[in-house]
Structure 1
């Protein structure tokens, strides 16, 4: 069958993906059948290539991407044994630990089939063809135990306040391990940092360990800035979470969909197989919603992936689980971060309250970590003060040892307890 010119296919893709024309409109504009247009668009989606990048290539390069089997001159031969590329693909995911290469796997394949094995060139080309038959996230060779991808679903679930009837939109957090696709999902009332970090902590508990790298999208709760000029600036609270779990943060690059293909497919799977099933349910709290999500999540992770013939749970136990880092002894306790300048009264201001620091730090810039229970104040990495968290505007927490000596004297001089102790030395009637 005669192949359509790459120029026409490129124009179809430009109209549909660049200009947003429908399949029918693109077909009419190019004189191509709607079925062919649908096939071109489906094939292009599987490439996981940015449309602008694709259009910038010449026709020969576009054709090599679009028809990777073209020009290889290889067809399956009855006299040769086709390698088990599913097993080979899984072996390559473990290459960081086992140092295995495609060349070594070919040598082992030849040893097993000395008289009817493909050459290395054919072996490699058939593997490339195998990769182009599976989805974009599986196509990437993610190293076992190396990465977890995190993002929020665009779809939300309504939560009804039984007392007022007010409806809240629960946000759906999704975490996907790179090698296995093993997935965690958690609902919260917002995407704010406190909820965002709690979802991570629960995900790591669910996995029973942590990979080396977390790949978030460019949410403000994770990334303050991500540009070529200034580089990546990670939110300090999110960086502290990563340090606690001995992880690195490598955000997905803006406008690079391939960087987050794994989690985007995970989000789609969660939307289709879990959130869609809950569309007729009414929930009155996120706890109730999370209980329902948990039950469906087990079914989702146990679902067999047709092209791989294994479930995400099986892949997790085989690939990611053996290489995850052990969890720390204590869960991460969420703390917010801010910087403050020590005022003339050797106190810093935080949420309408004042907390003292040693007077020697007067006028200096300090780092403040605060939770619902405590306030820790640091200067250049050294903790210089700790206070219980105050909860009412106007309250002041002053430690005696933070005062200059003349302030300590004045404080003791005007301390009511000091007068009571003095009266008690005279007698009970004086004290009363």
Structure 2
């Protein structure tokens, strides 16, 4: 996805600061500010801007990047944090309302998310031992339990280990637990989707650990996300802010939740025998309700009550359709105007040969894009080593051959030359997934009979079948040098045995049997 689109989405849909956007996307804060100014100058709806192609966005935002003028720099204005603390101690007061009041007095005041961050720093200075401050509906902390649950295969008796996904909402501590067969990206995202439906909404930010299903790299404050995970986040309009490596305090909420889940749920299941992950999830759900309904002594409310009060009203609404897991690859269009994916080929218009393209695929479809524009759409092949070719992607001469020729016509021509040539044509067509390519090779080989004669082509066909080489160049070279004569003389007996056993040659026994049947019919 375009960096510009990602910046605008995080800025205006997730209300993140420029610094947070820099961490998540790798785009500098100055560039984020420039993109923001360009977007404001456009005065266009966000959805309309996000629907533009990468090229159109580049022309609007990069080519006409606004220059920063010293007069445009605004002085940072900090509120009186002592006053803020006193105001927040009043019953019913919220940070959002307080920020809005300060914003009215000082239009140059920074964003609400920055306001929250500065206040948290102030509180920590007063009392370093104070727990993290979590905002309503803001963050969902995600991790896996180190403790697993055995799953017994009823047929083989083999034992696998179910992975336990745990996520905790920051403000209320409301917890969701989900068992999956693995920690793969697909199962990791599946657990997120289940969590969103469990909560009935989506938080503003996800805070995962740095596992490979979520984060490719997290170095020097620049995060590279797993593309499938990032796509899921874009679908639900949620930001991803991974915990810093070796900084457990960034996700202390979920680490405490994991310990509690191990104690109150997983330990209670240690004597159970489970034969499927679904069966395990049913038992987890029964115990999870009890855990969330437990009264937290310090707060004198259950997590369920706190969720309804603190987090639920602030969650973003769920989309009507559930997210479909997607995977992403980057490939080069080969000389056959196809890209390879999981052992199968998918065609693109031949004019894109040699170009790098992006492949987005699900269990049912494959979409191929170039610079953000879709150039091909195929159904996903269910078997490996099969190709999907769209006729309009072929060059014009291929299309004409595809429409004009067919296997029957080629075999009729081959039969007029000889049985070995027929066998060669069938072998070529059986080995080629693209009929047009097979027709082209077959026509080229059969056309040699006009130059070199049927007898010569039949002799070369025996060699090609013997050495399993069906290339047009190889056959043409044999015809030009007549080297097939030497090969046929030295391997005559071997070739005869091979060809008599070839699946396309019926042999003398077959015709003797047919003659016998015909005689019986005449006699009767």
Please tell me the TM-score bracket, short chain as reference. Answer: 0.5 to 0.7
After TM superposition, give the deviation of residue 415 of structure 1 in Å. 3.8
Kindly indicate whether residue 307 of structure 2 is the aligned counterpart of residue 322 of structure 1.
Answer: no
> Given the alignment, which residue of 167, 175, 179 partners 1:187?
179
> Given the alignment, which residue of 279, 291, 294 partners 1:303?
294
Kindly indicate whether residue 222 of structure 2 is the aligned counterpart of residue 226 of structure 1.
Answer: no
Q: Choose between structure 1 and 2 for higher RCO, CA contacts under 8 A separated by at least 6 residues.
A: 1
User: For residues 242-321 of structure 1, what are the structure 2 equivalents within 5 Å?
Assistant: 242-321=233-312
Q: Please say if residues 412 and 418 of structure 1, whose CA atoms lie closer than 8 Å, have aligned partners that are also in contact.
A: no
Superposition TM-score, scaled by structure 2 size: 0.55
- Tell me which residue corresponds to 2:384: 393
Task: Work out the CA distance in 2 between the residues paired with 1:311 and 1:153.
Answer: 22
- Tell me which residue corresponds to 1:165: 157
Q: 1:98 to 1:376 in 2, by over 3 A?
A: farther
Question: What SS is found at the alignment partner of 1:181?
Answer: coil
Task: Work out the CA distance in 2 between the residues paired with 1:98 and 1:198.
Answer: 38
Kindly indicate whether residue 207 of structure 2 is the aligned counterpart of residue 215 of structure 1.
Answer: yes
Q: Please say if residues 95 and 143 of structure 1, whose CA atoms lie closer than 8 Å, have aligned partners that are also in contact.
A: no
- Segments of 5+ residues of structure 1 without an aligned counterpart are 1-84, 102-123, 420-432
Task: Work out the CA distance in 1 between the residues paired with 2:251 and 2:309.
Answer: 23
- Tell me which residue corresponds to 1:140: 132
After TM superposition, give the deviation of residue 335 of structure 1 in Å. 1.1
Kindly indicate whether residue 248 of structure 2 is the aligned counterpart of residue 239 of structure 1.
Answer: no
- Segments of 5+ residues of structure 2 without an aligned counterpart are 1-85, 102-121, 411-524
After TM superposition, give the deviation of residue 406 of structure 1 in Å. 1.3
After TM superposition, give the deviation of residue 417 of structure 1 in Å. 9.8
Q: Please say if residues 376 and 385 of structure 1, whose CA atoms lie closer than 8 Å, have aligned partners that are also in contact.
A: yes
- Tell me which residue corresponds to 2:95: 95
Task: Work out the CA distance in 1 between the residues paired with 2:306 and 2:217.
Answer: 35
Question: What SS is found at the alignment partner of 2:360?
Answer: strand
- Tell me which residue corresponds to 2:436: none
Q: 1:89 to 1:298 in 2, by over 3 A?
A: farther
Task: Give the aligned CA root-mean-square deviation in angstroms.
Answer: 2.5
Question: What SS is found at the alignment partner of 1:142?
Answer: coil
Q: Which protein is bigger by CA-based radius of gyration? A: 2
Superposition TM-score, scaled by structure 1 size: 0.66
Task: Work out the CA distance in 2 between the residues paired with 1:248 and 1:240.
Answer: 11
Question: What SS is found at the alignment partner of 2:368?
Answer: strand
Structure (1 or 2) with the greater helix fraction: 2
Question: What SS is found at the alignment partner of 1:180?
Answer: coil
Kindly indicate whether residue 408 of structure 2 is the aligned counterpart of residue 405 of structure 1.
Answer: no
Question: What SS is found at the alignment partner of 2:141?
Answer: strand
Kindly indicate whether residue 367 of structure 2 is the aligned counterpart of residue 376 of structure 1.
Answer: yes
Task: Work out the CA distance in 2 between the residues paired with 1:332 and 1:374.
Answer: 15
After TM superposition, give the deviation of residue 150 of structure 1 in Å. 0.4
User: For residues 63-212 of structure 1, what are the structure 2 equivalents within 5 Å?
Assistant: 94-96=94-96, 99=99, 139-212=131-204
Q: 1:157 to 1:412 in 2, by over 3 A?
A: same
Task: Work out the CA distance in 2 between the residues paired with 1:277 and 1:128.
Answer: 41
After TM superposition, give the deviation of residue 95 of structure 1 in Å. 2.3
- Tell me which residue corresponds to 2:331: 340
Question: What SS is found at the alignment partner of 1:274?
Answer: helix
Q: 1:214 to 1:364 in 2, by over 3 A?
A: same
| Aligned structure 1 segments of 4 or more residues deviating by more than 2 angstroms | 87-92, 94-101, 415-419
Matched residue count: 303
- Tell me which residue corresponds to 1:43: none
Question: What SS is found at the alignment partner of 2:281?
Answer: helix
Q: Please say if residues 353 and 394 of structure 1, whose CA atoms lie closer than 8 Å, have aligned partners that are also in contact.
A: yes
After TM superposition, give the deviation of residue 404 of structure 1 in Å. 1.5
Q: 1:362 to 1:90 in 2, by over 3 A?
A: farther
CA distances 1:278-303 after superposition (whole Å, capped 9, x unpaired) = 01111000000000000111111111
Q: 1:197 to 1:378 in 2, by over 3 A?
A: same
